[in-house]
A and B are shown apart, each in its own frame.
Chain A
Amino acid sequence: MEISNLPISPSIRSKLLAKGYSGEASTGAEISIPILSVAFLFSLWLCRNPLSIGKEENVQWFTKSQSCFLSIPFNRSGTKVLLTFRYLATSEAPSYLLSSLIGPPSNSKFDLGLPCRQILASPLYTDLSSLSSISPSLLAQELSIKLEEAMEILRVVSDTTECKSSHIPNGIIPGAVTAWDMLSEEQMQRHISTGCEDLDAILGGGIHCKEVTEVGGVPGIGKTQLGIQLAVNVQIPVEYGGLGGKAVYIDTEGSFMAERAYQIAEGCICDILDKFPSNSREFLSCKERLQVNNFLAGIFYFRICSYTEQIAATNYLENFLTEHRDVKLVIIDSVTFHFRQDFDDLAQRTRVLGGLSLKLMKLSKMFNLAVVLLNQVTTKFTDGSFQLTLALGDSWSHSCTNRIILHWNGNERCAYIEKSPSLPSASAPYLVTGKGIRDINSNFKRARTM
């Protein structure tokens, strides 16, 4: 947790930053002087100067759970210079945020020149719970900061340590949901239809929201077609079996054609209208509501020309989605294109992609939308032969929830579920027609149940 990210007042922040620490957890024991030898030195010193022991407050032991202060006032040429020995038993401070707020992690053996009173007066709180019972005025006095600043620190502490109650159901961690609640939520979720019924069947109804689905295949198999079909199908109103949401289409290759989107939208409306007998009331109201231009207006299109733009777009998506809450689908076509060239350092590419995928997962969970990533293929040498696998390496494979591979099966296009937590491996054929993605057997019209 960086100092700049902490929700504390600018004055405290500037004070801390001026002292030169950024709030990272101090690691390692700074000094390994065992307590016994310090005590031995101390006792020696005491024996030598029995008179200058003086009052109790001159020599103070502070022992907190994992660290120990020993401050000895040491007379040297008239000015009091404090020697502060500090022994940190472990590097772990559960409240590293506190140690950065309150106690300075010193890297030098002798803390000369630091404000002595501050060190003496600030016992290092290593546990958040020890701060929970202190009053703001006492804290302000100990740290010699203003009362408002002390209150702010305590407010931050209480925000970060919510529900310390011993009730397990609320108190394990804030934000945890039981599987039973998730099951009932999941059953009420609608899925995004792909246009092909067989494909919808093996997907368990369609593309799931709150999940990241990766679709990969050889060039020309229909990945972009599937992407555009999904962008149109997500906008079908709820009464007609869709989600009624908008789509974000992030295009890295430039393969999105507005004319094709127009065609697909027309085909989709046509199929919906076919469900109603012509000239009935529903037919007419449906015809009025579903306009092709509305469908095209519901697709937010971003054109990306380099990998930095892609990373920037992913970072910007959070703000965008907060403003446009009705977006239910984000498609990235294709996620590989800019990462396959210009990257010399493959390890860095893996790291960047890992961060990208975590952000997309977070977005899909937070905004309850589906993320679809389209990927390219590459050849890999496994088991003595060259095989086609999805690009971006082994480590990319764990950054999606579901994985679908599109391939040729003779003359047919087939989709195969390679990875899914809840669906069995299955494959289904589909067709790419003038109207979009359809079933193989869509020659005869079937009444589709909603």
Chain B
Amino acid sequence: MFNKFSSEDVPAQNQVKASVQPKIPQSIAEEPPDVTPKRRLPWLTGIQLLSHTNQNQHFLPTGLQGIDALLGGGLRQGQVTEIVGPSSSGKTQVCLSSATHVVDKKFGVVLYLDTSNSFSPFRISCFVNQVHPYLPKELKERRLQTIMSNIYCQSVFDIFALLDLLRHVESTLKHSVKLGGSKLCLLVIDSVSSIIAPVIGGKNSQGWCMVASVGVLLKRIAYEHNIAVLVTNHMVGGENGTVKPALGESWKGIPHVRLLLSHSTGNDCGTVTVLKHTLMVSMHLHRHEIWFKWVVSFSILEHSSVLVESRT
């Protein structure tokens, strides 16, 4: 097999080498034509990243000034924000309020994934009327229709459906063309913990694998398509009677920002605390007292009057 080398063979060998070697990087670089091109994200310098962040990643308003102030402006596009809280502390209200205000300020379309049938169109109409209280009736009706037609709601009841849905959203976003501002800008999942909790724990670790998939998918959708993702989580009991957010340590790293809502019984005062934030470097938790005025001002009269108006 091996020829004895002589000085005449070397140029021949070199020739063969020279003819083959360029083909190797070429064949790595080129791809068969019938394949979707591999998306190579380019390397960015720090300055480029900063300018990209400042220009493209806007803050989406939640509608509640206190929470917006705490978040440094609102829900950041490209990041996953999580709201944790015990039962009936206002998590769904924050989600509904964010959806309304984001569409109202014309950032884009909102997709609301609902696991506990708590998406309430009536409540959204209340928020819309709060934002524009002084419009004449026909304008109000038209405004309501415009805003509510840009909020899409879908129910998910198990983790496989959620994974399918998120992948479908991702592929739709990859292939779709921006149609004059009607691009998805906020994805709300209320609540992600009720979908994930039945599959984690137990003897097999398949559930954790799916949790990791969900987390990676959410972060990828948020970053690559410049979308803000808002998820809610509930609390479970920890040791010594303390409460901690559900879904454990492995979910802790997935949201970029974590807010804790607590609601003291008896009065309408709620507290929002920042548990984790990418920009705030502090050892202590920030506590802000936020008056949930919109809970206080709700009344039955408003309920019936909104119904009458929307029917005409």
Say yes or no: A25-B160 contact (C-beta < 8 A), given A182-B121, A398-B87, A421-B120: no
Interface residues of B in 233-253 (CB under 8 A from A): 234-237, 241, 243, 246
Chain A residues with CB under 8 Å of B298's CB are: 424
Q: Hey, what's the 0/1 contact readout for A411-423 against B, CB within 8 Å counting as 1?
A: 0000000110110
Bound together, the chains give a CA A172 to CA B166 distance in angstroms of: 10
Say yes or no: A130-B158 contact (C-beta < 8 A), given A42-B24, A172-B172, A187-B307: no
Q: Which segment of A11-19, A234-242, A306-314, A357-365 sits at the interface?
A: A357-365
State whether the Cβ of A64 lies closer than 8 Å to any Cβ in chain B: yes
- Is B198 a contact of A355 with CB atoms below 8 Å? yes
Chain B residues with CB under 8 Å of A168's CB are: 109, 176, 179, 182-184
Chain B residues with CB under 8 Å of A397's CB are: 86-88, 234
Interface residues of B in 95-122 (CB under 8 A from A): 96, 109, 111-112, 115-122
State whether the Cβ of A166 lies closer than 8 Å to any Cβ in chain B: yes
The distance from the CB of B188 to the nearest CB of chain A, in whole angstroms, is 12
Bound together, the chains give a CA A341 to CA B230 distance in angstroms of: 37
Tell me which of A166, A351, A403 contacts B202 (CB under 8 A): A351
Number of interface residues of B (CB under 8 A): 95
Q: Hey, what's the 0/1 contact readout for B252-293 against A, CB within 8 Å counting as 1?
A: 000000000000000000000000000000000000000000
- Is A211 a contact of B198 with CB atoms below 8 Å? no
Q: Which of the listed residues A53, A161, A183, A186 has the most CB atoms from chain B within 10 Å of its own CB?
A: A183
Tell me which of A129, A178, A211, A381 contacts B171 (CB under 8 A): A129
State whether the Cβ of B216 lies closer than 8 Å to any Cβ in chain A: yes
Say yes or no: A183-B148 contact (C-beta < 8 A), given A358-B157, A365-B117: yes
State whether the Cβ of B201 lies closer than 8 Å to any Cβ in chain A: yes
State whether the Cβ of B47 lies closer than 8 Å to any Cβ in chain A: no
- Is A50 a contact of B86 with CB atoms below 8 Å? no
Q: Hey, what's the 0/1 contact readout for A374-418 against B, CB within 8 Å counting as 1?
A: 000000011000000000011101111101000000000000001
- Is A357 a contact of B124 with CB atoms below 8 Å? no
- Is B310 a contact of A361 with CB atoms below 8 Å? no
The distance from the CB of A174 to the nearest CB of chain B, in whole angstroms, is 8
- Is B123 a contact of A212 with CB atoms below 8 Å? no
Number of interface residues of A (CB under 8 A): 82
Q: Hey, what's the 0/1 contact readout for B128-162 against A, CB within 8 Å counting as 1?
A: 00000000000000001100111111110110100
Bound together, the chains give a CA A183 to CA B125 distance in angstroms of: 8
- Is B117 a contact of A43 with CB atoms below 8 Å? no
- Is A65 a contact of B153 with CB atoms below 8 Å? no
Tell me which of B17, B109, B197, B206 contacts A24 (CB under 8 A): B206
- Is B123 a contact of A164 with CB atoms below 8 Å? no
Bound together, the chains give a CA A50 to CA B243 distance in angstroms of: 69
Beyond the given pairs A179-B121, A424-B299, 16 more chain A to chain B contacts, judged by CB atoms under 8 angstroms and listed by A's residue number, are A1-B160, A164-B171, A168-B109, A173-B172, A178-B149, A179-B148, A180-B144, A187-B310, A348-B202, A352-B198, A357-B194, A358-B194, A364-B117, A394-B87, A394-B236, A403-B87
18 cross-chain CB contacts under 8 A: A1-B160, A64-B35, A65-B38, A92-B213, A130-B34, A133-B34, A161-B171, A164-B171, A164-B175, A168-B182, A173-B169, A179-B121, A179-B148, A183-B125, A362-B157, A381-B241, A397-B86, A401-B117
Residues of chain A having any CB pair with chain B under 8 Å = 1, 24-25, 27, 35, 39, 42-43, 46-47, 50, 53, 61-66, 92, 94, 123, 127-130, 133, 160-161, 164, 166-169, 171-180, 182-183, 186-187, 201, 204, 210-212, 347-348, 350-352, 354-355, 357-359, 361-362, 364-365, 381-382, 393-395, 397-401, 403, 418-419, 421-422, 424
Considering the complex of A and B, which 5 residue pairs feature the smallest CB-CB distances, nearest first? A397-B87, A183-B121, A422-B120, A354-B198, A180-B148
